[in-house]
């Protein structure tokens, strides 16, 4: 496969559409090609935005509409066997049957209302999560596409990493490609080197060798970024020697 052909695979790589020899060849090429690393970073952010393009935020009036319709939804009638038992009970005492029927209707209405409310809450949670994910992707893409974005790249953990910083937005994105997976039960953790201290900046996905991570927290006065191998869930302070250190591009 020629170098020209490899340059044309950045979009397919960002969308995880390569496999086998083609994937291996491109990742070897990517480790030494700054132009492709930048394109992969941009395509990764763009595909993330496209994946959320059809998401619709729930209207604020949805809750009131659901509560209003609960009172008008027709409940499913009880099965024939319970009805027959109620008829037999009526012959024994009509007063008891009326109370039993009232209790059954009340229970059915309560169950229907609870089910509708739970469905509404699940819809609200899903909408909230989608909105958060969309904002996350928008901030990440904004840093990568910022006019003042500056980057610094280095080889690390069998692959390559690029730190992209936007001073105007005060945020940073770390883009990795072809990095070796951390040991089982471990995760790569990102850190800001800030005034002689290490400040956690988030975790990388241990199941992905290539990814774009919006680093947590503002860049502020950080002078560099470090990557360490930590237990799953991360650590409050680094517990291993850094896999890589990158200076914040001026």
- Cα 141 to Cα 16: distance, rounded to the nearest angstrom: 19
The DSSP annotation for 49-86 comes to HHHTTT--PPPTTHHHHHHHHHTTPPPPPPPHHHHHHH
The span from the first CA to the last CA of the chain, in angstroms, equals 37
Sorted by sequence, the CB contacts under 8 Å of residue 205 that are 6+ apart come out as 211, 213
Structure tokens that stand for 74 in this block: 């027709």
- Cα 244 to Cα 230: distance, rounded to the nearest angstrom: 14
Q: How far is CA 131 from CA 9, 146, 165, in A?
A: 31, 22, 24
**What φ, ψ does residue 188 adopt, rounded to 5°?**
-80, 130
Q: How many CB atoms lie within 10 A of CB 76?
A: 9
Contact 172, 223 (CB under 8 A): no
pTM above 0.85, yes or no: no
pLDDT tens digits for range 142-199: 888 888 988 888 888 888 888 999 999 999 999 888 889 999 999 999 999 988 889 9
Residue 139's Cβ-side half-sphere holds a number of Cα atoms within 13 Å equal to 16
Q: Is 154 helix (H, G, I), strand (E, B) or coil?
A: strand
Domain range list for the chain: 62-142, 147-250
The strand ranges marked E within the chain are 150-156, 159-166, 171-177, 186-194, 197-203, 211-214, 224-231, 244-247
- Cα 195 to Cα 216: distance, rounded to the nearest angstrom: 17
Confidence class for position 53, pLDDT limits 50, 70, 90: very low
Q: What is the largest CA-CA distance in the chain?
A: 91
pLDDT tens digits for range 119-156: 555 666 666 667 777 787 888 888 888 889 888 888 88
Query: Which range has the top average pLDDT, 114-118, 119-123, 219-223?
Result: 219-223
């Amino acid at each position: 496969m020629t170098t020209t052909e490899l340059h044309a695979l950045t979009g397919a790589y960002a969308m995880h559409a390569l496999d086998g020899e083609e994937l291996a060849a491109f990742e070897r090429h990517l480790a030494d090609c700054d132009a492709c690393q930048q394109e992969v970073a941009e395509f990764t952010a763009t595909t993330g935005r496209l994946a959320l393009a059809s998401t619709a935020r729930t209207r604020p009036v949805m809750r009131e509409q659901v509560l209003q319709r609960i009172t008008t939804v027709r409940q499913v009638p009880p099965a024939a066997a319970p009805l027959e038992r109620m008829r037999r009970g009526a012959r024994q005492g009509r007063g008891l049957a009326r109370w039993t029927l009232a209790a059954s209707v009340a229970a059915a209405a309560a169950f229907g209302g609870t089910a509708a409310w739970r469905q509404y809450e699940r819809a609200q949670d899903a909408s909230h999560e989608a909105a958060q994910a969309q904002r996350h992707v928008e901030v990440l893409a904004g840093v990568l596409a910022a006019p003042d974005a500056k980057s610094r790249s280095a080889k690390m953990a069998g692959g390559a990493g690029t730190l992209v910083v936007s001073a105007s937005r005060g945020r940073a994105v770390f883009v990795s490609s072809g990095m070796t997976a951390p040991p089982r039960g471990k995760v790569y953790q990102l850190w800001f080197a800030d005034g002689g201290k290490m400040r956690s900046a988030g975790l990388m996905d241990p199941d992905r060798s290539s990814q774009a991570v919006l680093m947590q927290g503002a860049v502020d006065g950080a002078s560099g970024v470090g990557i360490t191998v930590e237990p799953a869930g991360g650590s409050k302070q680094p517990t291993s020697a850094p896999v890589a250190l990158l200076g914040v591009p001026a």
